[in-house]
Structure 1
Amino acid sequence: MKKFLYLFILIILALYLHTYNSSNNPSFEQNEPVPPSSSKIVALSHFSAEIPASSAPLLEWNKDLNAVYYELELFDTVPENLSNDDLSSDHLYYTASIYTNAYQIDLKDIAPEYLNKKPLYWRVRSMDIDGNPISSFSKLETLYATDAPSSMNSPLPHVTYNKENGTTLLYPVYAFIPNAHATQFEIEVTDRPPENPNGTTPSKYRIFSAITNLCDYYDPKARIGKYYWRVRGLDDDNNPVGVYSDAQTFENNPNDNWKIGIFGDSISHGGGHLSFGPADWEYSYAYYLDFPTINLSCSGDTSETMVKRFDTDVVPFHPQYLLIMGGTNSLRAGIPAENVIEDLIAIREKCYENNITPIFLTLAPINPENIKKVFDENTSPVWQRNLNIVNKFIRTQPHIDAAAALNSPAILPTYYGMDGLHGDIPTKKIYAQAINDNISQFIEK
Structure 2
Amino acid sequence: MRRILCRSAFLIVSLSVAMLVWAGFSGTTNVVSAWAACLAHARINKPVPTVHFSQEGPASIKPVLTWTKVEGAVAYELELLTKPPKTPDKSATYPICFFSTKKIYVNGFNADLSVYLNEDSFYWRVRGLDVDGNPIGLFSDAEKVYIDRQQNVIQKPIPTSIFNQSTGATLLYPVYAWIPIAGAENYEVEILDDLPENPNGIVPSIHRINSALAVGFDYYDKNPRISKNAFYWRVRGLDQDGNPVGVYSDAGKFSINPNRHVTVATFGDSITHGGGSISYSPADWEYSYQYYLDFPSINLGKSGDTSETMVERFERDVLPFHPQYLIILAGTNSLRGGVTAENVIADLKVLKEKCLVNNIRPVFMTLPPINPDNIKKVFNEPTTPDWQEQMRLVNNFIRTQVHIDVASEMKYTNGILPSKLAVDGLHLDIDGKKKIAAAVNANWARITELARQSSIE
What TM-score, normalized to structure 1?
0.88
Alignment match, 2:359: 355
Q: 1:242 to 1:178 in 2, by over 3 A?
A: same
Distance 2:115 2:360 in 1: 59
| CA drift at 1:184 | 2.2
Q: 2:141, 2:115 → 1: CA distance?
A: 24
Quote the residue 1:240 is aligned against.
244
Structure 1 gaps of 5+ residues are 1-35
1:73 aligned residue (76, 79, 86): 79
Q: 1:86–1:93: structure 2 CA closer, same or farther, 3 Å change rule?
A: closer
Among 386, 402, 408, which residue is 1:382 paired with? 386
Q: State how 1:20-99 maps to structure 2 within 5 Å.
A: 39-79=45-85, 81-90=86-95, 91-99=97-105
**Selected match of 2:410 from 397, 402, 406:** 406
Of residues 218, 221, 224 in structure 1, which corresponds to 2:223?
221
Aligned position for 1:259: 263
> Paired residue for 1:138?
140
Aligned to 1:435: 440
2:124 and 2:239 map into 1 onto residues whose CA distance is 26
TM-score, normalised to structure 2, is 0.86
Larger Rg: 1
How far does the alpha carbon of each residue in 1:333-377 deviate from its partner, in whole angstroms, 9 at most, with x for none?
000110000000000000001000000000011100000001111
Q: Which has the higher contact order (CA 8 A, sep 6+)?
A: 2
Pairwise CA distance, 1:179: 2.2
Aligned counterparts of 2:94 and 2:376: Cα–Cα separation in 1: 34
Q: Counterparts of 1:173 and 1:224 in 2: how far apart (Å)? A: 14
CA distance in 2 between partners of 1:98 and 1:234 (Å): 20
Superposed, 1:152-301 pairs within 5 Å as 152-225=154-227, 226-301=230-305
Q: Greater shift after overlay, 394-403 or 234-243?
A: 234-243
| 1:421 to 2:426 alignment | yes
2:108 to 102, 115, 118: 102
1:148-194 alpha-carbon deviations (Å, 9 max, x no partner): 34455211011211121100110000011112332321111112222
Q: CA 1:105–1:181 in structure 2 vs 1: closer, same or farther (change >3 Å)?
A: farther
Q: 2:10 corresponds to which residue?
A: none
Query: 1:383: how far off?
Result: 0.9
Task: Please state how far the C-alpha of 1:85 moved relative to its aligned partner.
Answer: 2.5
> What is the identity percentage for the equivalent residue pairs of Structure 1 and Structure 2?
53
Query: 418-427 or 305-314: which moved more?
Result: 418-427
Measured in 1, the distance between the counterparts of 2:169 and 2:103 equals 28
Matched positions, count: 405
**Distance change in 2, residues 1:76/1:183 (3 Å):** farther
Q: Is the 8 A contact 2:369 2:410 kept in 1?
A: no
Q: Distance in 2 between matches of 1:401 and 1:196?
A: 51
| Whole-angstrom CA distance in 2 between matches of 1:408 and 1:150 | 55
